[in-house]
Structure 1
Amino acid sequence: MRRRLISSTLAVVLIVIAVFGVSLVIVETRTISASAQESVDSEALRLVSIVDSRLLGGDRVNAKVLSEQVAKKRYARIEIPGRDTVEIGERPTGSVLRGRATGEEGETVTVEETRSSVTREVGRTLLIIGAVALLAVIAAALLAVRQANRLASPLTDLAETAERLGSGDPRPRHRRYAVPELDRVADVLDSSAERIARMLTAERRLAADASHQLRTPLTALSMRLEEISVTDDLDTVKEEAQIALTQVERLTDVVERLLTNARDPRTGSAVAFDLDEVVKQQIEEWRPAYRSAGRAIVCSGRPGMRAVATPGAVAQVLAALIENSLMHGGGTVALRTRVTGNQAVIEVTDEGPGVPADLGARIFERTISGRNSTGIGLAVARDLAEADGGRLELLQQQPPVFALFLSREARTRRSSEDAQRPVR
């Protein structure tokens, strides 16, 4: 592209110089020739006036007297009736410029000059015009190179940016080139880079979330399958198989939920459901893990509440909180349901050391963890809660109290707020 820009610019400049240069040469040649002819004619008139004055005064007219009145390298011939012809200088040969004038006494003065002087003057003029044209060509070449670099360098830079995008580096460069068209292309590439970066971030986030959220259900399913493989009791096999099928359904729900959140985190499939069933399901699923750790998990609070959310998402949030208490907490884990205003609240607490003071405000951020864990669980749990219009908060750091707030379905018949549900 640089070569084309330089070639086209120089071609335009050369054409312009050729057109104007030829015209200037013609005009200057004619001007110089006319000026030389005018000079010869003027000298002839001047000499004839001098001859007239001398003839009228009775003075002598000869070559010696008039030689000083004729310019060097010019030839003059004075013809006076009844007298000898007076010649001054050497008569030129070849092409000459000739000026002639006639005086009042009948004398004729002829002045001649060789055209070589005109030719030399035209040559000097052509040399000057050629030098100016050469300087113009050099200046045009430099400007063409600069302009070509000014236009080609941004295009090369934009090509590199596009190549970087294609190779998986979506960082926008935010470079502008003071050329509106090129700046527009740069804007589009930067916008594309930002969109690609968001897409890659979403894909990586989906992979991390899926890995984290599927780990626990897969572990539980593996445990159920191991129970089936080591028992000969048909009733136990049926019971464990039914639980395993339920966990497979939960795995399917987790995958669908993660894919839905990856497409649009604000999209939810909220329905009215019995909150007790989800809480009971989570306690039954996690009780073996807590029993193996020598700990207990219980629930209490107001029974019979119905919330408006996605049951699978609520189960995933509770699973994240219960797993967090198992890994980082201590003692008995308690789930408590209560009502505040038009919201149903599920609190999860344990008897452990709680959340460190320096992590309290950042506990729901990704990669933030009190121990060597991924730091994804609570962040995903909050996203799931917010997708259904709920919210997940840390109400107390020591002992830790996490609360899931959900919209509550209005009911015509309410149970006593003080009723308790012990779980053994």
Structure 2
Amino acid sequence: MRRRLINSTLAVVLVVIAVFGVSLVIVETRTITTSAQERVESEAVRLTSIIDARLIGQEEITPKVLRDQVDGERFALIEIPGRAPIEIGKRPAGDVIEAERKGEQGETVTVQEPRSSVTNEVWRTLLMILAVATLAVIAAVLLAVRQANRLASPLTDLAETAERLGSGDPRPRHKRYGVPELDRVADVLDASAERIARMLTAERRLAADASHQLRTPLTALSMRLEEITLTDDPDTVKEEATIALTQVERLTDVVERLLTNSRDPRTGSAVSFDLDEVVKQQLEEWRPAYRSAGRAIVHSGKQNLQAVGTPGAVAQVLAALIENSLMHGGGTVALRTRVAGNQVVIEVTDEGPGVPSDLGPRIFERAISGRNSTGIGLAVARDLAEADGGRLELLQAQPPVFGLFLSSSPRAADRDEEHRTVR
């Protein structure tokens, strides 16, 4: 591209110089020739007037007297009737420029100038024009190189940026070149890089969330299947199989929710549901794991509560809190349900050391963990809670108390009002 720009610019300059240069040479040649002819004629007129004056005054007319009146490069011939011709200067050889004038006293004055003087002046003019043209060509080449670099270098940078995007490096460069068209391309590439970065981040986040949220249901399902393989009691097998089917349904719900909300977590469809059923389901799923760890999980608080949200999402939030207590807490884990104004609250606490003071304000950030875990469980749980219009908070650091706040169901409030009226 650089070579093309330089060649095209140089070609344009050469064409301009050729057109205007030839025209200028022709004009200057004619101007110099005309000017020389006018000078010779002017000198012939001046010399004629001097001779007329001397003839009228009967003064002496000799070559010595008139020599100072004629330019040294010119030749003058003065012919006076009745006198010998007077020659001033050296008669030029070859082609000459000549002017002849007749005076009032009958004299004839002829002035000649060698045409070589005109030719020399024309050549000097041609050399000046050629020098200017050479400088113009050099300036054009330098300007073309500068413009070629100014245009080619940004294009090379933009090509490298596009290549980086294609190779999976979506970092925007935020580099501009002072050329509106190229800056527009750079803006588009940077915007594309940012969109690709967001898409990659979303995909990685989806993969991390999926691995985290699917691990718990799969672990619980694996425990149920192990219970089935270790017992011969048909009633126990039936009970465990029923629970396993419930866990499969929950696993399916988790997958569907991940696929639906992978781009925007605030797309959940909240409904009124029985909170006791969700809590009971979590207790049944996690008791075997706590029993294996020599710990207990219990439930207390107000019963028969109706909440507004997505049952599957609430179950995932509780599962994240219960798993967090199993991994990082100690002693008995307690789930307590209560009512706070127009909200239903589920508190999860244990008897462990609690949340370190330096992690407390950042406990819900991704990649923040007190131990060697993924650090995304609580972050995912908070996202799920907020998607249903609720919130997840750390109410107390030591001992740890997490609170899930959900809107209470209007139907539940109406039933409470009916009970108070009947009483």
Name the TM-score, length of structure 1 as normaliser. 0.94
Larger mean CA deviation between 236-245 and 90-99 belongs to 236-245
1:182-206 CA-partner distances (Å, limit 9, x unpaired): 2222111111111111110010011
Please give the alpha-carbon distance, in whole angstroms, between the structure 2 residues aligned to 1:402 and 1:119: 106
What SS does structure 2 have at the residue aligned with 1:279? helix
Unaligned stretches of 5+ residues in structure 1: 418-424
Structure-to-structure mapping, 1:87-166, within 5 angstroms: 87-166=87-166
For these two proteins, the number of residue pairs brought into alignment is 417
Structure-to-structure mapping, 1:226-265, within 5 angstroms: 226-265=226-265
Larger mean CA deviation between 15-24 and 233-242 belongs to 233-242
Q: Aligned residue for 2:176?
A: 176
Alignment of 1:297 with 2:297, yes or no, is yes
Equivalent residues of 1:302, 1:416 under 8 A apart = no
Structure-to-structure mapping, 1:309-320, within 5 angstroms: 309-320=309-320
Q: Aligned residue for 1:280?
A: 280
For residues 267 and 316 of structure 1, do their structure 2 counterparts lie closer, same or farther at Cα, with a shift above 3 Å needed?
Answer: same
Q: Aligned residue for 2:208?
A: 208
**Shift of the alpha carbon at 1:133?**
1.1
Please give the alpha-carbon distance, in whole angstroms, between the structure 1 residues aligned to 2:312 and 2:383: 13
**Shift of the alpha carbon at 1:60?**
3.6
1:138-162 CA-partner distances (Å, limit 9, x unpaired): 1111111111211222222111111
What SS does structure 2 have at the residue aligned with 1:136? helix
Equivalent residues of 2:77, 2:87 under 8 A apart = yes
Please give the alpha-carbon distance, in whole angstroms, between the structure 1 residues aligned to 2:368 and 2:305: 33
Alignment of 1:413 with 2:415, yes or no, is yes
Q: Aligned residue for 1:378?
A: 378
| Paired letter, 2:92 | P
For residues 42 and 415 of structure 1, do their structure 2 counterparts lie closer, same or farther at Cα, with a shift above 3 Å needed?
Answer: closer
Please give the alpha-carbon distance, in whole angstroms, between the structure 2 residues aligned to 1:292 and 1:231: 17
Q: Aligned residue for 1:391?
A: 391
Q: Aligned residue for 1:31?
A: 31
Larger mean CA deviation between 199-208 and 154-163 belongs to 154-163
What SS does structure 2 have at the residue aligned with 1:357? coil
1:75-123 CA-partner distances (Å, limit 9, x unpaired): 2211111222222333223321001111121000101111110010010
Equivalent residues of 2:223, 2:288 under 8 A apart = no
**Shift of the alpha carbon at 1:38?**
1.3
Equivalent residues of 1:44, 1:100 under 8 A apart = yes
What SS does structure 1 have at the residue aligned with 2:262? helix
| Paired letter, 1:210 | A
Equivalent residues of 1:304, 1:415 under 8 A apart = no
Structure-to-structure mapping, 1:3-82, within 5 angstroms: 3-82=3-82
Please give the alpha-carbon distance, in whole angstroms, between the structure 2 residues aligned to 1:50 and 1:11: 57
1:296-355 CA-partner distances (Å, limit 9, x unpaired): 110011111111111110000000000111111111111001111111110001111111
What SS does structure 1 have at the residue aligned with 2:398? coil
| Paired letter, 1:189 | L
| Paired letter, 2:33 | S
Please give the alpha-carbon distance, in whole angstroms, between the structure 2 residues aligned to 1:36 and 1:129: 20
Please give the alpha-carbon distance, in whole angstroms, between the structure 2 residues aligned to 1:306 and 1:353: 33
**Shift of the alpha carbon at 1:294?**
1.1
Equivalent residues of 2:333, 2:351 under 8 A apart = yes
Please give the alpha-carbon distance, in whole angstroms, between the structure 2 residues aligned to 1:2 and 1:341: 74
Equivalent residues of 1:297, 1:333 under 8 A apart = yes
Larger mean CA deviation between 349-358 and 24-33 belongs to 24-33
Larger mean CA deviation between 119-128 and 258-267 belongs to 258-267
Please give the alpha-carbon distance, in whole angstroms, between the structure 1 residues aligned to 2:67 and 2:307: 130
Name the TM-score, length of structure 2 as normaliser. 0.94
Larger mean CA deviation between 59-68 and 46-55 belongs to 59-68
Please give the alpha-carbon distance, in whole angstroms, between the structure 2 residues aligned to 1:396 and 1:263: 32
| Paired letter, 1:285 | E
**Shift of the alpha carbon at 1:58?**
3.0
What SS does structure 2 have at the residue aligned with 1:99? strand
Please give the alpha-carbon distance, in whole angstroms, between the structure 2 residues aligned to 1:248 and 1:169: 39
Equivalent residues of 1:278, 1:311 under 8 A apart = yes
**Shift of the alpha carbon at 1:51?**
2.2
What SS does structure 2 have at the residue aligned with 1:414? helix
| Paired letter, 1:198 | R
Please give the alpha-carbon distance, in whole angstroms, between the structure 1 residues aligned to 2:355 and 2:70: 118
Please give the alpha-carbon distance, in whole angstroms, between the structure 2 residues aligned to 1:416 and 1:293: 45
| Paired letter, 1:261 | N
For residues 415 and 276 of structure 1, do their structure 2 counterparts lie closer, same or farther at Cα, with a shift above 3 Å needed?
Answer: farther
Please give the alpha-carbon distance, in whole angstroms, between the structure 2 residues aligned to 1:415 and 1:333: 33
What SS does structure 1 have at the residue aligned with 2:61? coil
**Shift of the alpha carbon at 1:415?**
9.9
Equivalent residues of 1:347, 1:404 under 8 A apart = yes
Please give the alpha-carbon distance, in whole angstroms, between the structure 2 residues aligned to 1:109 and 1:33: 21
1:199-249 CA-partner distances (Å, limit 9, x unpaired): 100100111111111112212222222233344444433333222222111
Q: Aligned residue for 2:357?
A: 357
Please give the alpha-carbon distance, in whole angstroms, between the structure 2 residues aligned to 1:224 and 1:246: 11
